[in-house]
Structure 1
Amino acid sequence: MSSTFKKWTTTPLENLLISLESGSRPRGGVRGIPNGIPSIGGEHLTYKGTFDFTSIKYVPKEFANNMNKGRIQKDDILIVKDGATTGKTAFVDEYFPFKDAVVNEHVFICRPSKFIEPKFLFRFLTSKEGQERILENFQGSAQGGINLSFAPNTEVPFPPFNEQRRIVAKLEKLLHKVDACKERLEKIPLILKRFRQSVLAAACSGRLTADWREKNPIIEPAIKLLASITERRRTAYETALRASSREGNRKPRKIFPDEPPSVESADVDLPETWTVTNVDFLAHVTKLAGFEYTKHITLLDQGDVPVVRAQNVQMGRFVPENLKYIMKDVSNFLDRSQLHGREILMVFIGAGTGNVCMAPKKGRWHLAPNVAKIDVDGANSHYLLLYLQSPIGFFYTTSWIKATAQPSLSMKTIRKIVVHLPPLEEQQEIVRRLKELFEKADEIEERYKKAKAFVDRLTQSILAKTFRGELVPQDPNDEPASVLLERIREEQSKIKTDIKIKTKRRVKK
């Protein structure tokens, strides 16, 4: 030990315990046993050093009474002994909810000597250094674990008893503050989510831009916007019809309705200049057809054109991860499902049904199955995207989802989604204001992430400082840890002798 640790020592974990044991379960397991004595497994320990009893299991009382090992006591330290969470550690304090409980065969009970401060040992075993020392004893494959030999092989820094108490007292205060900080930080994502939904709701009901309408009273109402869109499309179609007739080509297909639809919407009080329409009137909705995918598409790990799958479309953002590709000639042939950076993308089948984002602008992209493209005409595509993310827009979307094992929408039902439409100028103002508000929310979210990363590291930083002997000052009057270890050895020897005597008495009986 360095001079900093004049009265500290280092000793194997087994020298600090009066018992190291595991439990068991009845043959056939514990499934279907509705009550009895709680049986604690690795799944009940958390990485915070506490317990999660959301799904508690039991062993019969008679079975528990016959268990020679594995009964939990106050101040016990529990450690997962096998599987993916090997080393996960929890402490049984005065708030442990069960008067009588046992561990199963996947958990070790480490019972500290009465001559040490149990929380000191617990905190070391949950530290980065302690976890590393435990896992140095891991044996086997991913489903391997540790056995009883981990205790003699796990070295523990060991200070005088009074210093342990001072360390625990200060640690508890510091870690309580860290935990309180974590709790406050954990509320921020929900606050930001509610903020974004609140401003979207205000935007898509007209409340966000009430002041703008007062300053801009002479604005063409949205109902006239629909009429001008209809007239423009009619003129364009008639022109295309005459051209096809002159050239002897097939009659062009209409992709939009002839007239604005009559739409039933929820009872929402919209501004007078707004109107109600649907996606079908505002956009052309299409997808990669099933037969096109089956006949022409082979998804590749490398290729010319990346495809957009459902997992890439998160609510409000495009996530370019785990990409698959198709060849350029296939994309050229299936031109109807090419993407051009202006479309809204919507997941129409699976867990993310209703998720929307803008198509990526950079590079060339193509649709994969399960994602529809909504090519907006005459309205502001960014307004429609925001509307579909809003509470009212998402309500209209999900109202069409089929109630089956796998959620889904058809192109027909996507077209039926009701849209609250403001005048074009107000759509632009809404997009501008929401952009500013969301940028502020994004800035707060980035600050939150940095703060969370710092706080997440703080516990381990404090523990590292603790076990370097730097958390509290040493007291020259403290009894050296080596003397304390001798007392523990005497305690362990006495316990072993008592066990032998009890065993002989049972044999004689």
Structure 2
Amino acid sequence: MSQYQDGLPQGWAMAEFDDVAEVEANLVEPSAFLDSPHVAPNHIESGTGRLLPYQSIRADGVTSPKHLFRPGQILYSKIRPYLAKVTLVDFAGLCSADMYPVRADIVPGFLQQWLVSPMFTALASQSQSRTVLPKINKRALGTKAVPVPPLNEQKRIVARIEALQRRSSAAKEALDAIPPLLEKFRQSVLAAAFRGDLTRKWREAHPDVEPATELLARIRAERRRRWEEAKPGKKYVEPEPVDTSGLPELPKGWCWASVEELCWDGPTNGYSGATEAGSSGTLTMKLSATTQGKLLLNDSTTKRLSETLGDESKFWLKQGDLLVQRANSLSYLGAAAIFDCAEEPMVYPDLMMRIRVVEPIITALLWRYFNSMACRGWFRANATGTAGNMPKISGAILRRTAVPLPSAGEVEQLLEVVGQTLEVVDAVTEPSSELSDLLAPLNQSILAKAFRGELVPQDPNDEPASVLLERIRQEREAAGDSSATGRRGRKPKQARRS
């Protein structure tokens, strides 16, 4: 118990797990409990003890033996103890054989909070066996340290922890509600932009501006020039105009254009070469670098290939390249970002497509449109493999994508208004996410204070924990508990009296 015994508060004592609790293994055949709740490790939130939605034995199709548990027991997941999956149940049911149903002889809520704490998790992780699927066995668990306050103080500690955790949960719930609301607002801004609503007053103030068809004609001419310059001797084929049947009506002066008309190079799939730990070859981005609809380059969104690509490779990114995710979950399919910075040359993975657009301002317009729900809906409707976990869109689909094109002057105005508005959204999103992330360490600090004896006042009139532990030992002996008689003569470590 020397792992956790220094500085005990007055009236506390240090015990081992087996002194204050017992694993009550009771494997049963699930066929006799088909309508009973079924709790597995994945039904417990890591590090909090919160019970997640679960189903019945019948609904989960359980066939192998499970532990029968009863109300008031603690369910402790012995698999991957570093995940700290521990919950206190108030109902009966069956739990995974990879869990221990625990009877507590001290306040169950107090023991559960200790078992889920970072301090106990560190102790348990030291004794985990196996490397592929670590677990802590019953014997090792039984020797782990448990700080035991007086009984009444245990109750006060649990009440205080639960009150603080309720406030923390309410704060997290409020903070977690912010990003979805902001995303809805972001999408409403983009929808209004590409309906022409955000720039209506600008159009009214500029009735004689040249129509978008003139802008499109210049883009098509420049597209041809660049294509022929890059591919001398090859026959240029004019892209087909957009079939506007079924498309919504656009504001006066706007027109529909296909991605094929607007880009002169691509779409080109990226390259996913071999990589391994310690690779020192070409720097490449991961799919996560563009998942949020903007470029994010850091150690977690980039990696190095085992090989170094030659200078002639078509996969090297250039400033202003537009990247589109051609494969991902439906939520992120088509997510786009502009490549605008990198500390060193880099390439992009096969699950992205790269296009190069004639004018930078049109690149920005496409970027905004690709990240709108209108365009994402088009991608989803035309994706293949939607029944699996990695739907895909092809280069042909991307080329055919119809884009609402305003006049040149209105494009600038649209991008300015959208940019200014979404900057405000981003300014709120990041702090709310950071605050939400801070709540986990806050909850851990609450537990740390609790088990240092700093969360609630000590009462000198409380019965010392040593008396409680002796009573537990005697009650076990009287009940014929072999574990109690086997421990006779060993006294718990008590707090030093000052």
TM-score (norm 1): 0.79
**Partners of 1:442 and 1:494 in 2: how far apart?**
65
Residues 1:22 and 2:25 are matched in the alignment: yes
Task: Please give the secondary structure, in 2, of the residue aligned with 1:302.
Answer: coil
Match of 2:379 in 1: 397
Question: How much does 1:366 deviate?
Answer: 4.3
Show the counterpart of 2:98.
106
Counterpart in 2 of 1:197?
187
Alignment check: 8 A CA contact 1:344 1:359 kept: yes
In structure 1, stretches of 5+ residues that fail to align are: 242-248, 500-509
Which one of 254, 257, 270 corresponds to residue 274 of structure 1? 254
Q: Is this contact kept in 2: 1:307–1:325, CA < 8 A?
A: no
1:415-472 CA distance string (max 9 Å, x none): 1111111111111122222222222222222212331232111111111111111111
Q: Is the 8 A contact 2:17 2:143 kept in 1?
A: yes
Q: Tell me whether 1:377 sits opposite 2:361 in the alignment.
A: no
Tell me, in whole angstroms, the C-alpha distance in 2 between the residues paired with 1:162 and 1:464: 19
In structure 2, distance between residues paired with 1:348 and 1:231: 28
C-alpha separation in 1, matches of 2:43 and 2:347: 46
Q: 1:345 is matched with which residue: 303, 317, 323?
A: 323
Q: Give how far 1:90 is off.
A: 0.7
2:280 matches 1:302: yes
Task: Select the residue among 110, 116, 123 that pairs with 1:126.
Answer: 116
Alignment of 1:241-390 (within 5 A): 251=233, 253-254=235-236, 256-257=238-239, 261-264=241-244, 266-287=246-267, 301-303=279-281, 306-307=283-284, 310=287, 312-320=289-297, 321-324=302-305, 327=308, 330-332=310-312, 334-335=313-314, 338-349=316-327, 351=329, 353-362=333-342, 363-366=344-347, 369-378=350-359, 380-390=362-372
Query: Which residue, 49, 55, 75 being the options, matches 1:78?
Result: 75
Give yes or no for the alignment of 1:420 onto 2:410.
no
Helix, strand or coil: the match of 1:419? strand
What value does the CA root-mean-square deviation take over the aligned residues?
Answer: 3.8
- Give the 3-state SS of the residue equivalent to 1:141 in structure 2: coil
1:502 is matched with none
CA 1:217–1:40: 2 relative to 1, 3 Å:
same
Preserved CA contact (<8 Å) 1:38 1:59: no
2:82 and 2:124 in contact (8 A); partners too: no
Query: C-alpha offsets along residues 189-236 of structure 1, whole Å, 9 cap, x if unaligned?
Result: 2122222222111111111222333343332221232234456667x5
Partner amino acid, structure 1, of 2:295: F
- 2:442 corresponds to 1:458: yes
Q: Which amino acid aligns with 1:318?
A: L
Q: Offset at 1:164?
A: 1.7
Secondary structure of 1:52's counterpart equals coil
- Which residue in 2 is equivalent to 1:52? 52
Task: Work out the CA distance in 2 between the residues paired with 1:281 and 1:132.
Answer: 59
Q: Is the contact between residue 41 and residue 103 of structure 1 (CA under 8 Å) also seen in structure 2?
A: yes
Change (3 A) 1:132 1:389: same
Report the AA paired with residue 346 of structure 1. V
Counterpart residue identity of residue 236, structure 2: K
* Amino acid aligned to 2:10: K
Which amino acid in the other structure matches residue 197 of structure 2?
R
The question of whether the paired residues in 1 share the 8 Å contact of 2:39 and 2:54 is answered with no
Work out which of the residue numbers 165, 177, 185 in structure 2 matches 1:187: 177
- Aligned equivalents of 1:434, 1:382: Cα separation in 2: 11
Partner of 1:89: 86
Whether the 8 Å contact between 2:324 and 2:336 is mirrored in structure 1 is: yes
Determine the C-alpha separation between the residues in 1 that align with 2:416 and 2:307.
Answer: 36
- 1:139 corresponds, among 124, 129, 138, to 129
Q: Could you tell me which amino acid in structure 1 is paired with residue 144 of structure 2?
A: T
Structure-2 separation of matches of 1:53 and 1:35 = 17
Q: CA deviation at 1:271?
A: 1.6
Equivalent-residue separation in structure 1 for 2:382 and 2:93 (angstroms): 50
Structure 2: distance between partners of 1:11 and 1:368: 55
- SS of 2:166 mapped into structure 1: helix
Q: Structure 2 unaligned runs (5+)?
A: 484-498
User: Distance between the aligned counterparts of 1:309 and 1:160, measured in 2?
Assistant: 53
Measured in 2, the distance between the counterparts of 1:355 and 1:475 equals: 59
Is 364-373 or 157-166 further displaced after alignment? 364-373
Sequence identity of aligned pairs in percent? 28
Residue in 2 that maps onto 1:244: none
Match of 2:490 in 1: none
**Divergent runs of 4+, >6 A:** 1-4, 297-300
Q: Secondary structure at the match of 1:217?
A: coil
Considering Cα pairs closer than 8 Å and 6+ residues apart, tell me whether 1 or 2 has the greater RCO. 2
Q: What is the TM-score normalised by the length of structure 2? A: 0.81
Change (3 A) 1:310 1:12: closer
For 1:213 and 1:59, locate their aligned partners in 2 and report how far apart those are by CA, in whole Å: 59
The structure with more radius of gyration: 1
1:13 aligns with 2:12: no
